[in-house]
């Protein structure tokens, strides 16, 4: 009969000298020369003797080591190798970690299959990291149900952040669709949440589009008593009605006094990444009034890179809040008028009161062509008509800036009629 092995005690485990100390059933505690203790299980599988590491002592206590021995023996009885089974479980855990919501979201973000611009990519990940990852990021994507996804969205919604909640649902849908596409989920459960989140109320940028209120705005700009550069920024915002980012970031090499144009490079425009790379620059015709503004600015900032440099350093453009702050100083609230609102002002007034065609206005605003074919076939630029429209607009604003009596007289001279 084989010699009966007496089970180990905790005291024996603590005081065991260097060597192997068996507990029975193949379990033993091995003590190294440096005093480190480690549990092992000796077993046979497939005709060969093997050793299965259980863990260090005393981190793995004696009862825990015995329980793991019994679990390993149960696997052996079922024909499984405990060591191989552990590797399978580790791989499953690794795959599960990669297949969590956060893991797939970060993979999708890194691959960037939708060719997002940098600003949107940063915002996309930051919003998820703040609102979704802490609550559902660690869950395997297969365990995410509509109620589970809804819970963090409701928290955001209750804070009054309706637009953020709506965006997060859209972001989650992109992640879940990608999980479906890569075989790691069956369906996008976010579609079941349509209607569950209150849609945000879309607010337009504040803009004065009533012609009877425009003279007050234009005269206020003309009499602005702040920094001279800011006054010119207000004037060019009105005269050029380009996007605020393009206006404040305008560089002197974009300006051609000879051609009477401002050429905004494609990569500076609000476009998709592909359109930024493949698209043409946006050419803005200048009216005589816009040229006068830029000539005055040339004397102030013409030696630098930017038409509107920052007050602190010429290496950066002015703050994106400068024009809005100037409008507040003139007494206009953000609900009444904004820097972006100049686009709506020009678009509305030129269409309704000067009969400028929509296609010409859209080209002036730098909007991409819409429709099923987009710009594939429609490559008209309306160069002549855009120049005429800018002339009409510049003259119109110049009339509005004049005192009431002079304005009435000038209006008889300046053509405010149709331009086609």
Helix (H) or strand (E) holding 23: strand 19-24
Distances (CA, A) of 49 to 23, 31, 44, 58, 245: 18, 21, 4, 26, 72
> Sorting pLDDT into bands at 50, 70 and 90, what band is 381?
low
Q: Which residue has the tokens 């062509």?
A: 369
Higher per-residue confidence, 115 vs 150: 150
**Could you read off the pLDDT of 193-241 as tens digits, one per residue?**
988 887 765 556 678 878 888 999 999 999 998 899 999 999 999 999 9
C-alpha dist (Å) from residue 112 to 105, 106, 120, 148:
10, 10, 11, 26
Express each pLDDT in 246-285 by its tens digit: 999 999 999 999 999 999 988 787 766 666 667 788 899 9
Percent of the chain at pLDDT > 70 equals: 86
User: Where does residue 269 fall: left (phi above 0), alpha (psi -120 to 50 degrees), or beta otherwise?
Assistant: beta
272 contact partners, CB below 8 Å, separation of at least 6: 115, 117
Q: Tokens at residue 405, please?
A: 């009596």
- 3-state SS assignment for residue 56: strand
pLDDT band at residue 67 under the 50/70/90 scheme: very high
Kindly indicate the confidence band of residue 419, based on its pLDDT and cuts at 50, 70 and 90. very low
User: What are the boundaries of each domain within the chain?
Assistant: 10-93, 99-193, 211-411
Q: In a 3-state reduction of DSSP, which class is residue 201?
A: coil
pLDDT tens digit sequence for 294-318: 999 999 998 899 999 998 888 889 9
Q: What is the pLDDT of residue 83?
A: 86
Query: Which residues are within 8 A (CB) of 177 and not within 5 positions of it... i.e. 6 or more apart?
Result: 188
Task: Tell me if the domain spanning 211-411 has CATH number 3.40.50.300.
Answer: no
Per-residue burial over 360-373, b = 16 or more CB atoms within 10 Å of its CB, e = otherwise: bbebbbbeeeeeee
CATH (residue range 10-93): 3.30.160.390
pLDDT digits (tens, 9 = 90+) for 119-166: 788 999 999 999 999 999 999 998 999 999 999 999 999 988 888 999
In CATH, the number for domain 99-193 is 1.10.150.130
């Amino acid at each position: 009969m084989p010699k009966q092995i007496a089970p180990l005690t905790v005291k024996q485990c603590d005081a065991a000298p260097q060597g192997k100390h068996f507990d029975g059933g193949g379990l033993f505690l091995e003590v190294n020369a440096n005093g480190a203790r480690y549990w092992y299980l000796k077993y046979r599988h497939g005709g060969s003797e093997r050793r299965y590491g259980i863990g260090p002592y005393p981190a793995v206590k004696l009862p825990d080591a015995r329980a793991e021995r019994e679990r390993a023996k149960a696997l052996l009885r079922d024909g499984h190798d405990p060591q191989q089974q552990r590797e399978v479980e580790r791989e499953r855990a690794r795959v599960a970690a990669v297949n969590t919501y956060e893991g797939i979201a970060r993979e999708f973000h890194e691959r960037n299959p939708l060719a997002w611009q940098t600003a949107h990519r940063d915002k996309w990940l930051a919003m998820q990291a703040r609102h979704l990852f802490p609550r559902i990021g660690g869950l395997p994507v297969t365990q995410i149900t509509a109620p589970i996804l809804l819970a963090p969205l409701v928290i955001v919604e209750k804070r009054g952040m309706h637009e953020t909640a709506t965006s997060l649902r859209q972001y989650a849908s992109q992640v879940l669709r990608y999980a479906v596409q890569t075989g790691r989920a069956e369906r996008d459960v976010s579609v079941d949440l349509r209607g569950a989140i209150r849609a945000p109320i879309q607010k337009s940028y504040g803009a004065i589009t009533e012609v009877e209120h425009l003279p007050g705005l234009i005269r206020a700009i003309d009499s602005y008593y702040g920094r001279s550069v800011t006054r010119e920024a207000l004037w060019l915002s009105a005269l050029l009605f380009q996007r605020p980012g393009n206006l404040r970031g305008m560089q002197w090499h974009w300006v051609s006094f000879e051609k009477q144009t401002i050429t905004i490079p494609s990569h500076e425009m609000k476009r998709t990444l592909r359109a930024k790379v493949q698209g043409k620059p946006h050419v803005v015709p200048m009216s005589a009034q816009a040229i006068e503004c830029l000539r005055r600015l040339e004397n102030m900032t013409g030696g630098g890179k930017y038409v509107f440099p920052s007050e602190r350093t010429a290496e950066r453009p002015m703050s994106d809040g400068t024009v809005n702050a100037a409008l507040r100083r003139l007494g206009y609230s953000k609900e009444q008028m904004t820097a972006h609102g100049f686009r709506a002002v020009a678009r509305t007034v030129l269409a309704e009161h000067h009969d400028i065609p929509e296609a010409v206005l859209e080209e002036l605003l730098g909007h991409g062509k819409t429709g099923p074919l987009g710009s594939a076939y429609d490559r008209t630029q309306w160069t002549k008509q855009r120049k005429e429209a800018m002339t009409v607009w510049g003259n119109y604003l110049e009339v509005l800036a004049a005192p009431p009596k002079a304005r009435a007289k000038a209006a008889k001279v300046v053509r405010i009629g149709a331009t086609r």
